[in-house]
Amino acid sequence: MALVIAGERSGVGKTTVTLTLLASLCRRDRLVQSFKVGPDYIDPMFHQHVTGRACRNLDPVLTSEAYVQQCFAYHSQLSEYALVEGVMGLFDGISSLAISHTLREGKAPMSFAKDKEQRTNDEGQRTNDKGQITDFASTAHIARLLDLPVVLAIDCSRLSGSVAAIAHGYRSFDPRIKIAGVVLNRVGSDRHLSLLKDSLEPLQLPILGVMRRQDNITIPDRHLGLVPTAELPELNALIDRLADLGDTCFDWQRLLPLLKSEPLSFFASSSLSASFPVRIAVARDRAFNFYYQDNLDLLQQLGAELVFWSPLEDTDIPKDIQGMYFGGGFPEVFAQQLAENSSVRHAVKTAILKGMPTIAECGGLMYLCEQIIDFEGKSWSMAGVLPTSAVMGGRLTLGYRRAVALQDNLLVKANTTVYGHEFHRSHLTLTPTQPLFETFRYDCDENMGCEGWGLPANIYASYVHQHWGENREIPQQFLKECLKVASSKTWI
């Protein structure tokens, strides 16, 4: 048993409700494991800041349905309570067929139309006339996969009696979803609350929490969502206010049994027998902090030592390393500081040109460019490895991708299909002459263009974020290349 916090749509306060629950539980010295549905990086940062435990992403597109179940079962059994924050509205997903994410190495790429003939639906899934699951990767999909009850958060700021129609509709839409109750958010007054309760009473649906409008509880956001935790000096004070709120606004007598984590059976993943005794420099600071914890765990399980460092603050790259990993983040926000740290920019470029295996995802790719041109049109020098510039703009590139490797590269072989997610407001002034991937929308054959830099051959720079949980061959391949550096004693 555990609990899913879902919303009737985006923006209803799922994250606030989740953080309030987590803060109050942790104040009571409860050991709690949190999860986040979807590919998001920032919400899990807030979870981890509160609980002290890495939040785990549950995303069957980036991984698989089986991996979602294994990940939840393994990590939830290590804690007393477990809580899953949903994504968007409860039934908001994508139209897709369940996909086996085994790497298709060495095979000719297949179109979605042909490939889907080899895919199977889960019996009982909600499908359309094409046989596609219509809410794949939604919060409802995850709740069904894990057989968990759902608490529905409802934004009550602009309604009263209509709350019952909303609650009734969500409870009856899919009978397999167990709605355990509702949390009424942004309630304005005692009279407002009375109207809401009167409307809900005929449904006999428990009200598990009432959160009044809170002018002093605001998490700032910007062009890609919430501002990350490392940039919020007043965050601890905010979490304390949330804990105070959580102590009084929830029906804990009903909630605690739902949150209780029970031991679950799961299929243990195959052991990682290969050992790669190498040191990997992982850029982690305010500019670079988008990493899936499972990816970092896999590198360590394979024998790598992770050395965390800051391209913003440090004066050189770490010593005695055999590989570098630049995750996503907000280099555009800190472009001036990154540019002013010329010694690190030069060291990064020198290391790569000498053959250092390097992964650079999204923000990391931008850092390897010649320049970042910010929203105000100002140019800032970056590492200068890639002969292109990253230009910030208003257009948002967003969505899951099916990417087919066009050539052998640092991580995968030619014709291998991988799945990832793009989320950025920058574009490059020049496209690579020999791109890594041809990309498609995840759920159809719509071509999204070619992207990714693999020259020099020891780099992998792409806008597509990947979760390696289902594809351990990827970190293994990376560490094999790093081990070659270690064997050559080039950096020791």
Q: What CA–CA distances, in Å, run from 256 to 83, 316, 405, 462?
A: 11, 49, 47, 43
Q: What CA–CA distances, in Å, run from 373 to 202, 338, 492?
A: 57, 13, 36
- Is 362 one of the annotated active-site residues of the chain? yes
Q: What CA–CA distances, in Å, run from 340 to 218, 335, 344, 360, 365?
A: 32, 9, 9, 20, 18
Lookup result for tokens 């765990």: 297
Supply 309's token pair: 């460092």
Q: Is 123 exposed, middle or buried (0-12, 13-18, 19+ CB in 10 A)?
A: exposed
**Rounded distance between C-alpha atoms, residue 50 and residue 243, angstroms:** 10
**Rounded distance between C-alpha atoms, residue 209 and residue 321, angstroms:** 50
Catalytic residue among 26, 156, 249, 362: 362
Supply 476's token pair: 């293994």
Q: How many CB atoms lie within 10 A of CB 342?
A: 10
DSSP helix/strand/coil, 244: helix
Q: List the catalytic residues.
A: 362
